[in-house]
Amino acid sequence: MKNIILILFIMTTVSCKSQNLEAKELKNFKLKNLIGNINYFQSYTLVDNLVNIVIIKNPPGSAKNEESGEVSNNLYLSKCEFGELPICKLYLLENFININIVKVYEDKKNIKIDITSGNFNQRKSNTILISLN
């Protein structure tokens, strides 16, 4: 019996074909720049929504700190409702320095995203609100 199972396993393994995967280079400058500069990506599954957060680094010197070439970051937020035909919205918040996502949650009216940002000695805490309506 063990030999028959082994032979069946070998036969099914031998008959499998691998896919021929070939990556094609994309020439879209904006898309290459956006994807190439992703600093952070995270999905958050909430009660009725899916929130995706993407942080993109800006060009060197964009933080406007005179002593360094430090970069600022742009924060892209997408909110999609669960369902067969989900309604999605996309938001952009610009020019954060050293942004950190602390917590993502929702209440009855809003999705809330707690963040900290700013230079080391000037960190600020903020909450981003996205209406559920």
Tens of pLDDT, residues 25-81: 999 998 998 899 999 999 999 998 999 999 999 888 788 777 777 889 999 999 999
Q: How confident is the model over 73-130, as pLDDT tens digits?
A: 999 999 999 888 888 999 999 999 999 999 999 999 999 999 999 988 889 999 999 9
pTM of the predicted protein model = 0.76
- Strands 110-117 and 124-131, sheet pairing: antiparallel
Question: Using the 8-state DSSP alphabet, how is residue 49 labeled?
Answer: E
Residue 11 has pLDDT above 70, yes or no: no
pLDDT band with cut points at 50, 70 and 90 for residue 18: low
Cβ partners under 8 Å of residue 103, min gap 6: 112, 113, 114
